[in-house]
């Protein structure tokens, strides 16, 4: 596969890419992704929540029913942009 990708990139590029350069770039990208995951471990969950709002509205998560959990007593009520704590009432 790397060989096919290397050939395709060489055809589209003015500067041919060697297999070693491609492997080095893939290794660097893998390292960057691992560092990003370590720095922001929940970032993917945030992205999924933002990009899959319609699925969440239907009660699904990645095509399966959401696992709903009870919420602790208290919390926050948003009322026309103002936040009030339930515990302070």
24 vs 82, which has greater pLDDT? 24
In this structure, the chain runs to a length of 89
30 vs 61, which has greater pLDDT? 30
C-alpha distance from residue 84 to each of 4, 30, 72 (Å): 59, 44, 16
pTM for the full predicted model = 0.40
CA distance 32 to 23: 14
What's the average model confidence in pLDDT over 36-48? Answer: 85
C-alpha distance from residue 8 to each of 1, 5, 20, 78 (Å): 11, 5, 15, 53
C-alpha distance from residue 76 to each of 38, 49, 68, 70, 81 (Å): 30, 20, 18, 15, 12
């Amino acid at each position: 596969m790397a060989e096919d990708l290397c050939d395709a990139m060489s055809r589209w590029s003015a500067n041919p890419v060697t297999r070693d350069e491609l492997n080095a770039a893939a290794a660097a990208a893998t390292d960057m992704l691992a560092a990003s995951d370590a720095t922001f471990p929940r970032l993917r969950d945030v992205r999924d929540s933002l990009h899959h709002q319609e699925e969440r509205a239907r009660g699904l998560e990645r095509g399966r029913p959401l696992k709903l959990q009870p919420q602790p007593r208290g919390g926050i009520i948003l009322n026309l942009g103002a936040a009030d704590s339930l515990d302070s009432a």
